[in-house]
Amino acid sequence: MDAAVTRIDLPLPVRVAASDGTTVWCAAGGEVLVHTASGMPLNPESDTRLPRTRPGPAAPPGAGQSEAGRTSRTDAAAGRSGEAGAGRAAGWVPGLRSLAAVPGTVAGTAGVPGTLPETVMVPRTFAGKPSAGTLAGTVAGTAGDRVYWFGSAGEPIAGVRFDGRAMAGGGEIWAVGDDRACRLAAPGRLGPPVELPGLDRCAVEGERLWWTSKHDTLLRGGPREVDLGTGPRGGLAVCAGFLWISVEGGLLRVSTWSGEPGRYMGAPAGPVPFLVCANGVLVGAGRDLFTLARAAGAAFRVISLGLDAPPAMVIPAGKHVWAFPADRPYALVVAV
């Protein structure tokens, strides 16, 4: 294992996790554990811990109507009384299948007079209440056939019917199913559905969803369709102005602005199952990690994880990456 890797012991193996860049949420054993991006546990009683769900009042008439026109139901406190979880002690949202988070942001002025305002990422707990229609400082997740919104203090505040997983990128969260996806809007509302026939892999870039299909070799969702050619493909990620695809022995890239494909780039491994973007640094993950910091001259750095097989899940967390080995009760945290 590389010296840059820190091991964080957990009570159980984790298969569901998310980060907003400052905080990491890990679902394990029926509850959600909370750490800083660097791996320090947070106070279990603090507001960053997702709270236990309790039966809540019935949703008002019309609540949960999606923008796509589908009728779905908002569960004001993450579920009906007596719903999934009956026979268990009152606890966390039962059966979490995925989590996704977007950071809180504030407008700040740069240090030089006359410069334009900049966007500064801040922890969710200090972000304040987001503006109407935005998702700033939001965590969402899926359980059963529902997607849930969690409020600024972590409380589950709404849920609508959707069978799939939650994915985040570019300040937006999408609910992605087997053949369609919807962008999450205000709590309890989904945007219009995007049809994804034969969905293979996808990557979120704000209001845009890049995706590939099992039926052909095209990359869709950008300014134009791009033929990726035949051959095995791995993870997809949007990072540093490009959509990156892990392929045999390297990486393909497509400009997110023009949709123009760039030149093939050899990489330490490929195809790898995971590509993520950590603070503008592209990270690929198989049994080991490799990073590509374009600002540093496009030199690859290989980081040994000491694993016999690829991890079960990899997530970016600010300037760190968290890797969760399959069936092992710990996480590997890497500063990139």
pLDDT in tens, 123-142: 444 344 444 445 656 899 99
Three-state SS at 295 = helix
Q: In terms of Cα–Cα distance, which of 135, 144, 196 is closest to 169?
A: 135
Q: Which residue has the higher pLDDT, 222 or 66?
A: 222
Higher-pLDDT residue of 55, 319: 319
> What percent of the chain stands above pLDDT 90?
64
pLDDT in tens, 239-276: 999 999 999 999 999 999 999 999 999 999 999 999 99
Task: List, in order, residues 6 or more apart from 41 with CB less than 8 Å away.
Answer: 33, 34, 35
Does residue 281 surpass a pLDDT of 60?
A: yes
Contact 11, 28 (CB under 8 A): yes
Are the beta carbons of 170 and 178 closer than 8 angstroms?
no
Q: Which domains does the chain have, with CATH numbers?
A: 15-195 (no CATH), 202-336 (2.120.10.30)
Please write down the HEC assignment for all residues of 63-127. CCECCCCCECCCCCCCCCCCCCCCCCCCCCCCCEEEEEEECEEEEEECCCCCCCEEEEEECHHHC
**What rounded mean pLDDT belongs to the chain?**
80
Is it the case that residue 60 has pLDDT exceeding 70? no
Contact 119, 103 (CB under 8 A): no
pLDDT at 182 over 70: yes
Structure tokens belonging to residue 41: 């546990």
Tens-place pLDDT, residues 87-117: 222 235 678 899 999 986 544 433 433 434 4
pLDDT confidence of residue 295: 59
**Could you report the per-residue pLDDT of 199-226, keeping only the tens digit for each?**
999 999 999 999 999 999 999 999 999 9
